[in-house]
A and B are shown apart, each in its own frame.
Chain A
Amino acid sequence: MMKNTKTWFAAGLVAMTMTVAACGNNASEPASGSDAADAGNTSVKLLEGWFSKGEDGGYFAALQQDYYKESGIDMTIQPGGPEVSAMQLVASGKADFGISYADEILKAREQGIPVVGILAGFQYTPQVLIYHKGEEINGFEDLDDKTVYMGTAVPYWEYIKNKYELSTVQEMKYTGQLVNFINDKNALNQGYITNEPYVLAQQGVDVDVLKIADSGYANYADVLFTTEDYIKKHPEVVKAVVQASQKGWSYYLDNYKTVNPLIQTYNPDVTLEALDYEAEHQKEFISTDETTTNGIGFMTNERWTELLEQMLDAKGLSKEQDVSKAFTTEFLAKP
């Protein structure tokens, strides 16, 4: 009797162990993919910050136009999700490259996650606060007594509240729905200049925007990043990916209509018209005097330092750090 019991128990344990092991094996698949660095093309995975959109258009252009392939890179672009953190997945090796913001990189580094920005898709953030057209709002100083729908722990919002000493602004959690904003004339809502004005106009709601970039917040947006470890081990791969991405961004700026159908296959619920609108309205944030002189994706120590100081002032960060380790321009091609 006892013998039978032990046999059953052992069998159960083995079954459960095998199940867990099976899951574990699956999890290690991406890692083995990126180990194919020697023979032919190198497989790499790029994880987007959200669902696929024109904000990552340069990477899709490089994929479509075979710039990655020509550089010996077998690129997989994986869409992000509403709550999936590219930072964590790149740090844990599930993806080789990710897309995020300069301020998120500084936050991650303060937490001990050794990520490095290698290309800034956007020289300035296309994030905005939208408000109803006709409302008397001329700048961020006019936000007191307004209601602002905002996500959680958003660095630029902490900066704006701090800089403009906003004390009576009413903060509400932005849940991804715009209906609350529509129903409240006194409300502002976080958004992207490339998305919310278009979406709301489709519903007959006219809005104006305050550009976060106009607040002086020094953030770079849609920054391509990887880990210190990956750079150390695969500098040639990083260079190839960065320079192919630069070419992709150049291509996308003028030829987005060619690339957007590809992006739509990654995000089928979004229309081509919306993607085209996005591509058109984001140009001013990507292509600047700085990028004309130094190349698309360029970053400066001054900007990163300024951003660090701004975040420290706003208590978004709690200690100094060496920004020269947070980014590098060594892989960027000169124009």
Chain B
Amino acid sequence: MKKEGVNVSEQASRLLNKIMPPLVVFILFVGGWELIVRLIGTPAYILPKPSDIAQSAVNNWSNLVSSVSTTIVEALIGFALSVVLGIGTAIILALSKTVEKSVYPYAIILQTIPVVAVAPIIVIWFGAGINAIVIISFLISFFPILSNTLIGLNSTDQNTKNLFYLYNAGKLQTIWKLRFPAALPYIMAGLKISCSSAVVGAIVGEYIAGIGGGKGGLGYGITVAANRLQTPYLFACGLAASLLGIVFFLIINYFSNKLLQSWHESAMK
């Protein structure tokens, strides 16, 4: 009984110790920001106070929610596409050195072409709006997953590959039973990079291929706020975008830990 009490208290204490320092820094930062801007009297369109930002978020809540949810949908679809095609392509490349050498350079080319330059072509092919934005989000998210997965699949321990060979395991069997599980840490790393890229990609897409109104997403909100000097709302959209990226990352990180915590050093406690 006493032990249980100590454990609960200990856990709470540990959690508090973990959260308290960044929380204190956050409060000091926001408080300082509010205080300094108030004292200097800077206009809201130059640098809004945190309270201005909060107020504009409240005043424009339904529009903000509409923009955020549109961006979420676009980012999620782009990300899902990049996961499926990224991992799928990596597996195909890993099956044969010849195929890998033949195809991989074009993945690099795809990654290095500035998306802004090809956006007009994407808009013509897929139409302005959500289609084009998803494609752009996908293009920005695809390569980290492909690259990390491929490195992972090619990093399987040689001794275990030899063991599979001795047991007459097929190539596909080896991929599925050995190389893919062994590549999970790399795949998770790729996913972590890509999930926030997908959000940035969706917003970039909204700038260069998006349309206005309810389906315009945060890119639309940011553009209108900037154009109309609604700087507090501009900050609100920017912070919402950042929060979105963080949430995506935390979710991926959670799944990553779930998959790896029983066997891989990076996730063991």
Residues on A lying within 8 angstroms of B by beta carbon are: 1, 4-5, 8-9, 12, 15-16, 19, 23, 26-27, 29-30, 47-48, 50-52, 78-85, 88-89, 92, 94, 175-179, 182-183, 195, 199-200, 202-204, 265-270, 274
- Interface pair B88/A82, CB less than 8 Å apart: no
Chain A positions within 8 Å of B170 at CB level: 1, 4
**Chain A residue with the shortest CB-CB distance to B116:** A83
**Chain B residue with the shortest CB-CB distance to A92:** B124
- Interface pair A83/B126, CB less than 8 Å apart: no
Question: Which of A26, A47, A177, A266 is B131 in contact with, Cβ under 8 Å?
Answer: A26
Digitize B184-211: 1 where CB-to-A-CB distance is under 8 Å, 0 elsewhere: 0000000000000000000000111111
The 6 residue pairs across chains A and B that have the minimum distance between CB atoms: A51-B212, A79-B212, A269-B224, A83-B208, A84-B128, A81-B211
- Interface pair B88/A266, CB less than 8 Å apart: no
Which of A15, A23, A81, A179 has the most CB atoms of chain B within a 10 A radius of its CB? A81
B92 at the interface (CB under 8 A from A): yes
Chain B positions within 8 Å of A268 at CB level: 62-63, 66, 213-214
**Chain B residue with the shortest CB-CB distance to A29:** B127
What are 19 sample pairs from A and B whose C-beta atoms fall under 8 A apart? A12-B88, A15-B88, A23-B125, A29-B127, A47-B128, A78-B129, A80-B211, A81-B206, A84-B128, A84-B210, A89-B123, A179-B45, A179-B46, A199-B227, A203-B43, A268-B213, A269-B63, A269-B228, A270-B224
Q: Is the interface of B mostly helix, strand, loop or mixed?
A: helix
Chain B positions within 8 Å of A203 at CB level: 43-45, 229
Pick the interface stretch among B30-38, B151-159, B215-223: B215-223
- Interface pair A177/B226, CB less than 8 Å apart: yes
- Interface pair B125/A176, CB less than 8 Å apart: no
Chain B positions within 8 Å of A267 at CB level: 212-213, 224
Residues on B lying within 8 angstroms of A by beta carbon are: 43-46, 60, 62-63, 66, 81, 85, 88-89, 91-92, 95-96, 99, 119-120, 123-129, 131, 135, 170-172, 206-214, 216, 219-221, 223-229, 231, 233
Which of A51, A52, A78, A269 has the most CB atoms of chain B within a 10 A radius of its CB? A269
Given contacts A8-B95, A80-B211, contact A199 B226 (CB under 8 A): no
Given contacts A8-B95, A16-B88, contact A200 B211 (CB under 8 A): no
- Interface pair B221/A269, CB less than 8 Å apart: yes
| 19 other A-B residue contacts (CB within 8 Å) besides A9-B99, A78-B211, A268-B214 | A5-B172, A12-B89, A23-B126, A26-B131, A27-B125, A51-B220, A51-B223, A80-B128, A80-B212, A82-B219, A85-B120, A88-B123, A179-B231, A195-B227, A204-B43, A266-B213, A266-B214, A268-B213, A270-B224
Distance between Cα atoms of A51 and B67 in the complex (Å): 14
Distance between Cα atoms of A15 and B91 in the complex (Å): 13
- The minimal Cβ–Cβ distance linking A318 to chain B, given in whole angstroms, is 21
Distance between Cα atoms of A85 and B63 in the complex (Å): 25
Question: Which of B125, B128, B171 is A5 in contact with, Cβ under 8 Å?
Answer: B171
Distance between Cα atoms of A30 and B131 in the complex (Å): 13
Distance between Cα atoms of A178 and B212 in the complex (Å): 20
- Interface pair A83/B213, CB less than 8 Å apart: no
- The minimal Cβ–Cβ distance linking B122 to chain A, given in whole angstroms, is 10
Which of A80, A195, A203 has the most CB atoms of chain B within a 10 A radius of its CB? A203
Distance between Cα atoms of A16 and B90 in the complex (Å): 13
Given contacts A82-B207, A266-B213, A269-B220, contact A9 B123 (CB under 8 A): no
Chain A positions within 8 Å of B126 at CB level: 23, 26-27
- Interface pair B124/A83, CB less than 8 Å apart: no
Distance between Cα atoms of A275 and B85 in the complex (Å): 45
Distance between Cα atoms of A8 and B125 in the complex (Å): 29
Question: Which of B60, B226, B228 is A274 in contact with, Cβ under 8 Å?
Answer: B228
Distance between Cα atoms of A15 and B92 in the complex (Å): 12
Distance between Cα atoms of A78 and B172 in the complex (Å): 48
Distance between Cα atoms of A47 and B233 in the complex (Å): 27
- Interface pair A88/B213, CB less than 8 Å apart: no
Distance between Cα atoms of A175 and B125 in the complex (Å): 27
- Interface pair B229/A199, CB less than 8 Å apart: yes
- The minimal Cβ–Cβ distance linking A48 to chain B, given in whole angstroms, is 8
Given contacts A1-B170, A5-B95, contact A176 B123 (CB under 8 A): no
Given contacts A5-B95, A81-B211, contact A23 B131 (CB under 8 A): yes
